[in-house]
Amino acid sequence: MKAAVRAWAELLRVSALFTVPGDALAGAAALGRRPDRGTALAVGASLCLYEAGMALNDWADRDEDAIDRPHRPIPSGRITPGAALAAAGALTAAGLTLAARAGRPALTVATGLAATVWAYDLHLKHTQAGPAAMAGARALDLLLGATATAGTGAGYVGVKRAVSATGASHAARSAGTVLPTRTARILRGARALGPARTTHPDVRAAVPAAALLGAHTYAVTAVSRHEAQGGSTVAPLGALAAIVALGAAAVREQRGSRGLPPVSAEGGPGDHHRPRSGAPAPRLLLTALTAAYLRTAAKPLLHATLNPSPPLTQRAVGGGIRAMIPLQAVLAARAGASGTGLAVMGLVPLARTLARKVSLT
At 227 the pLDDT is: 83
Count of structural domains within the chain: 2
pTM for the whole structure: 0.80
State whether 148 and 166 are in the same domain.
no
* Rounded Cα distance, 173 and 292, in Å: 64
End-to-end CA distance of the chain: 23
* Rounded Cα distance, 165 and 337, in Å: 36
At 279 the pLDDT is: 53
At 219 the pLDDT is: 96
At 129 the pLDDT is: 95
* Rounded Cα distance, 273 and 337, in Å: 15
Q: What are phi and psi of 75, to 5 degrees?
A: -65, -25
State whether 134 and 218 are in the same domain.
yes
State whether 97 and 186 are in the same domain.
no
At 250 the pLDDT is: 80
At 190 the pLDDT is: 40
Domain annotation covers residue 6: no
At 142 the pLDDT is: 98
At 202 the pLDDT is: 82
Nearest to 45 by CA among 150, 140, 135, 134: 140
Could you list the residue range(s) of the whole structural domain that residue 131 is in? 11-152+205-256+277-355
Report how far apart, in Å, the C-alpha atoms of 178 and of each of 21, 149, 175 are: 56, 44, 9
* Rounded Cα distance, 140 and 27, in Å: 10
At 33 the pLDDT is: 92
DSSP string for 199-264: ----GGGGHHHHHHHHHHHHHHHHHHTTTTT---SHHHHHHHHHHHHHHHHHTS--TT-S-PPP--
Residue 348 sits in a domain of what CATH number? Answer: 1.10.357.140
* Rounded Cα distance, 114 and 189, in Å: 46
* Rounded Cα distance, 23 and 212, in Å: 12
Report how far apart, in Å, the C-alpha atoms of 328 and of each of 91, 140, 287, 321, 324 are: 24, 14, 14, 12, 6
Domain annotation covers residue 269: no
Domain annotation covers residue 345: yes
pLDDT under 70: residue ranges of the chain: 153-201, 253-281
Q: List strand residue ranges (DSSP E) for 46-155, in order.
A: none
At 182 the pLDDT is: 46
State whether 291 and 147 are in the same domain.
yes
Domain annotation covers residue 360: no
State whether 17 and 118 are in the same domain.
yes
At 234 the pLDDT is: 92
